[in-house]
Structure 1
Amino acid sequence: MRDHIDGHRLLQQLQEWARELGFSQIGVADVDLSSAEPHLQRWLDNGFHGAMAYMSAHGLKRARPAELVPGTVRVITARMNYLPRDTSPAWRHIEWQRLDDPARATVSLYARGRDYHKVLRARLQALADRLADAVGPLGHRVFTDSAPVLEVELASRSGLGWRGKHTLVLDRDAGSMFFLGELFVDLPLPLTPPSEPHCGRCRACMDVCPTQAIVAPYLVDARRCIAYLTIENDGPIPTELRPLIGNRIYGCDDCQLVCPWNKFAQTATLPDFDARPALQDPMLLQLWAWDEAQFLKATEGSPIRRIGYQRWQRNLAVALGNALRAGAPAVVRQALMARRDEATPLVREHIDWALAQPEGAHDF
């Protein structure tokens, strides 16, 4: 049956099916990523992956799709917009205002709705099912930030965008506010051409990073990245970086907020990424008041659930300490002290740090 496949017509059908499933765009990449291996190896050798041991454990396998899934000859790449459907045209201004208010909590935009892993994985599988119906038995495997895959490399090679200096994928018509997913297949589909880069001399993302984690263009030291520190890192947050985290309690969007291309960012077509009321514009003290049962209920089906209650409290303690530095009222100090004795050693250490912060001179 495959001998009679019109590859270009099939690719057009795939693009139509993908749009019906909520994807913004798909592309097709080759599996030869050997030219990306030196950069990956240098990144690992420098220890920029921090405590993400799985990065070093898989090593260069990330750049070898055919080793990860034997028989793979093409990777279908996909992107899906995630800005909530009711996002204001002034959304970037609104986010900057939130970051400037030490009483508020800032959760990364992508994490305010449903867990993207669940959404993309199910819809990529549906795309694979349609493809199998069209061509017959199909060797395939679906990935969404869930295996040793060089997602940005594959996305940029297949035309979903180019790698920005912050290492995220950028598209001229959609900025960077989208998720990536992959479908490894044993079908020699026609390749889609890569995008031309359009960052030029701009270094806004590098300059705005609160912790200066973008150590060079296209190179991020995860050990300094607030997204890593508040999500992937399961230990103490380095004391010298805590004041720089501000009120960011889960992830960080600064490098995307400042990017000029995100004035073209598109909203999601799916309701899954609509912000949950509890995460739309929360106050730090509201979230700090949650016990573990409330945390688990509020984050059911959310990507936030994966960090667990202890890391959630750790992150909030840091943000509350920064609020004290900014002149928070006595109720913040009282709330921290009320939780201290029952806290785990990790959380208690961050509470003690917060309580030790000097009172700020600014109006809260």
Structure 2
Amino acid sequence: MRRLVEARAHALGFDILRVARPDSVPDLPGRLSAWLGSGSHGEMVWMEERAEARAAPAGLWPEVRSVVMLGMSYAPETNPLDILGRRDRGAIAAYAQRRDYHEVMKGKLKELGGLLSAKSGRPVKVFVDTAPVMEKPLAEAAGLGWQGKHTVLVSRDFGNWLLLGAIYSAADLEPDTPEPEHCGTCRRCLDICPTAAFPDPFRLDARRCLSYLTIEHTGPIPAEFRAPMGNRVFGCDDCLAICPWNKFAEAAHEGRLAAREDLGAPALRELARLDEAAFRHFFANTPVKRTGRDRFLRNVLIAIGNSGDPALAAEAARCLDDPAPIVRGMAVWACGRLLGPEACAGLHARSGKDEADAHVREEWRAVLAASDGETPAS
């Protein structure tokens, strides 16, 4: 049965399959509790909800006897760090430059789970990153790889470019051997982080992580993180791209996960002009769509402010009248970076209106205070 299921998994496009016991990570509840207690999850309140179910597979489904973990490679064909030097272009995380992996993997997992259920005579449940499942610790316990110092799963065969899925089975399946950690003394992933988001090896403070800030964070990006964002408009691959284990990774071969060429280096000028309908059309069926147009343009305007290109100031100035306050606020910041305080004072005067949103008023105050020779608080 194992050979049959594994062969079908490979035929469906999965690159690796391993099995773990549901109780194979006994210290997980304590680790999760400590991480949540420190507030390192930021606004991701869903991490707190159903924490008991997240910390142990049996807490989610008492019938589970085996956890089948699967990985699908999405290794990029080019180095994700290369785009960071092209300041007039937006950097989108490698996984988001392609079709939403939830859509790609869910149907395949259901088919594979159906086969496992039919052959074992026991029920299954399948999950792809949308349920309270701790995929990375379970994948490590199953032997897919190990959680590196950047907390992402690292594989000796696929680097850290694996998308994970899980099948909970009520059948007793023979577990595989866990993969020991092979990071050694290397700390490249920690040292490259532009915002020092790792207080210690193997521990992430999401509140400082650019992936979290550009995707999950709902409000204005804190001022201290805007310059380090550079041109990253959705996610950040720095700690992944620098990992030396990637030298063994092969480019993704699942056809539906092929990267879109137009998402490899989109022009900031064009991204800044997306209205709601254009945003939804351009990013249809990709992970970027779920962040929403307003938060995405917030990120784009920060990238424009970091571009050092005065020619892009017109795009930022145009967004000063955007309906969304979060967009207007970052447009003010970008104009301040590219045009300087005196030109921004002229823009503010010509607007002839008092800003209703407190965040936008504060951004204007910071820019205008600089024009008076004051040191802005932000």
**TM-score > 0.5, shorter chain as reference:** yes
Task: Confirm or deny that 1:346 pairs with 2:330.
Answer: no
The match for 1:328 is 309
The match for 2:343 is none
The match for 1:17 is 8
Deviations 1:167-210 (A, max 9, x none): 01111111011100101110100001111211001000000001
Deviation of 1:252 after TM superposition, in Å, equals 0.5
The match for 2:294 is 310
What secondary structure sits across from 1:182 in the alignment?
A: strand
- Say if 1:73 and 1:188, in contact at 8 Å, map to a contact too: yes
**Paired residue for 2:135, among 131, 151, 158?**
151
What secondary structure sits across from 2:163 in the alignment?
A: strand
Deviations 1:274-332 (A, max 9, x none): 12232122111121122221111111111111001111111101111111xxx303x31
Note closer, same or farther for the CA distance 1:154–1:171 as it changes in structure 2 (3 Å cut). Answer: same
Identity of aligned residues (%): 40
Q: Distance in 2 between matches of 1:99 and 1:111?
A: 16
Q: Distance in 1 between matches of 2:136 and 2:48?
A: 18
**Paired residue for 2:230, among 240, 243, 246?**
246
Deviation of 1:59 after TM superposition, in Å, equals 2.0
Deviation of 1:70 after TM superposition, in Å, equals 2.3
**Paired residue for 1:278, among 256, 262, 265?**
262
Deviation of 1:343 after TM superposition, in Å, equals 3.4
Task: Confirm or deny that 1:58 pairs with 2:39.
Answer: no
The match for 2:372 is none
Deviations 1:63-112 (A, max 9, x none): 2111201211111000000135xx2xxx22xx323101211110000111
Q: Considering only CA atoms, is the larger Rg found in Structure 1 or Structure 2?
A: 2
- Aligned AA for 1:19? H
Unpaired segments ≥5 residues, structure 2: 341-378
What secondary structure sits across from 1:214 in the alignment?
A: coil
Q: Which deviates more, 179-188 or 51-60?
A: 51-60
Task: Confirm or deny that 1:107 pairs with 2:92.
Answer: yes
Q: CA RMSD in A?
A: 1.4
Q: Distance in 1 between matches of 2:322 and 2:232?
A: 24
Q: Distance in 2 between matches of 1:46 and 1:321?
A: 32
Q: Distance in 2 between matches of 1:62 and 1:134?
A: 28
- Aligned AA for 1:128? G
Q: Distance in 2 between matches of 1:140 and 1:281?
A: 41
Deviation of 1:134 after TM superposition, in Å, equals 1.9
TM-score, scaled relative to structure 1: 0.90
Q: Distance in 1 between matches of 2:240 and 2:322?
A: 37
The match for 2:149 is 165
- Aligned AA for 1:17? R
TM-score, scaled relative to structure 2: 0.87
Q: Distance in 2 between matches of 1:246 and 1:237?
A: 13
- Say if 2:319 and 2:327, in contact at 8 Å, map to a contact too: no
The match for 1:3 is none
The match for 2:22 is 31
The match for 1:4 is none
Deviation of 1:45 after TM superposition, in Å, equals 0.6
Q: Distance in 1 between matches of 2:275 and 2:338?
A: 27
Unpaired segments ≥5 residues, structure 1: 1-9
- Say if 2:67 and 2:169, in contact at 8 Å, map to a contact too: yes
**Paired residue for 2:72, among 80, 93, 112?**
80
Q: Distance in 1 between matches of 2:217 and 2:295?
A: 9
Deviations 1:27-65 (A, max 9, x none): 111111322222111111100000000111222321211
Deviation of 1:130 after TM superposition, in Å, equals 1.4
**Paired residue for 1:267, among 237, 240, 251?**
251
Q: Distance in 2 between matches of 1:97 and 1:83?
A: 15
Could you say which structure has the greater relative contact order, defined with CA pairs below 8 angstroms and 6 or more residues apart?
1
